[in-house]
Amino acid sequence: MKMKQEFLRLVFLFCGLTVAHLGVTLFLLANLGADPFNVFVQGLNHLMSGFNLTHGIIHMCVSFMIILVLLATDRSYIKAGTVICMFCGGPIIDFFMWLLEGLEIESAGLVIKIPVLILGCVILAFGMTIVIRSEAGTGPNDLVAVVISEKCHFNFGLTRVITDSIFVLAGFIMGGKFGTGTIICAFLVGFVADFFMPYSQRLIDLGLKLTD
């Protein structure tokens, strides 16, 4: 029974990850600025430009460092789903990019791009709450807000806004670039996720109950 529940939680995690990265894809297609975490990665890339490292390599290194810190402090946050989030996010985005390329969102005006961006942030936030509430693991960059929120007993939405803002500020100081989409994402995703969190918990509880 325990193995069945753990498997179902991984299924929920993968479903949430897929939904979240549909939102990320819409965000990217709007092309109005990188998400907060990637602004931070851009800044590190600029700061370490002499080492000739790619954006992807630095992204993986930062994610790996977050995991190492958690392994040293509270390894209960590192689960199978954390690894799934690390390695499946890219391919899922590539799939949705291929699927939606015909919409030509990047060449549209702001009257189309901003609603698409906001929709992407809402979908991202919803998918993220399913991943978190699956309790099967969370992506390294999302774990920052999750751990701070739980350890300090802070509201998750506000914690996410603060951590995203710190990522943007630190990235900008190091040479990263941000746009309108970055600001909207930083201040929208956390509060929308906070709204969806109890509904995602009920959805997962119902799914686990129905499959008992």
User: How confident is the model over 29-87, as pLDDT tens digits?
Assistant: 888 988 898 889 889 988 888 788 777 788 888 888 888 888 888 888 888 888 888 88
User: How confident is the model over 161-211, as pLDDT tens digits?
Assistant: 999 999 999 999 999 888 999 999 999 999 999 999 999 999 999 888 877
Torsions phi, psi of 178, nearest 5? -135, 165
Q: Which helix (H) or strand (E) holds 169?
A: helix 156-173
- CA 194/CA 189 separation, integer angstroms: 9
Determine contact, residues 7/156, Cβ cutoff 8 Å.
no
Q: Residue 4: what pLDDT?
A: 79
Query: Around Cβ 122, how many Cβ atoms within 10 Å?
Result: 18
* DSSP-derived secondary structure letter, 109: -
Tell me the residue type at 36: P
pLDDT at 1 over 70: no
Tell me how many domains the chain contains: 1
Q: State which residues form the domain around 85.
A: 2-210
Query: Around Cβ 110, how many Cβ atoms within 10 Å?
Result: 11
